[in-house]
Homo-oligomer: A and B are copies of this chain.
Amino acid sequence: MKTAEMMNTYPAEVNLDRDLLTRTVDALVACAQACTACADACLSEDTVTELRKCIRSNLDCADICATTARVLSRHTGYDAEVTRAQLQACSQACKSCGDECEQHAGHHEHCRVCTEACRACEQACNDLLAAIT
């Protein structure tokens, strides 16, 4: 990931803390990938019928994290209201998906790894939310 390098070459002011932003973008991108992979791994399990809700949570979380990563990768015409609202939605999606994956973490390693990605991403979103005035 070249997140920090790209942020440091932005030619105008970045409105939020750069380290916090970089950490959050990287957590979002990692969580989106993990959720996409977890949905696919769940789909191939023998017990797929018990994993329907997990797959759906994964798909939502992947889409929401990917979009939030893009919003945070842009600094031009910063809009605190949109940034805050999207981060809140993303924090909720990561919490819901993490809670769902955690229930299957004992049986499926992909759900265990994905829970870690969701928890880390939820924390990063909450940390950034706390920094938005």
Which residues does A use to contact B, with CB under 8 Å? Answer: 1-3, 5-7, 9-12, 25, 29-30, 33-34, 36-41, 43-45, 48-49, 52-57, 59-60, 62-64, 66-67, 69-71, 73-77, 79, 81-82, 85-86, 88-89, 92-93, 96, 100, 108-110, 112-114, 116-117
> Would you call the interface of chain A mostly helix, strand, loop, or mixed?
helix
| Of B1, B44, B55, B76, the contact of A1 (CB 8 Å cutoff) | B1
Contact status of A64 and B86, CB under 8 A, knowing A81-B92, A113-B5: yes
| Of B6, B33, B52, B70, the contact of A34 (CB 8 Å cutoff) | B6
How far apart are A99's CB and chain B's nearest CB, in angstroms? 10
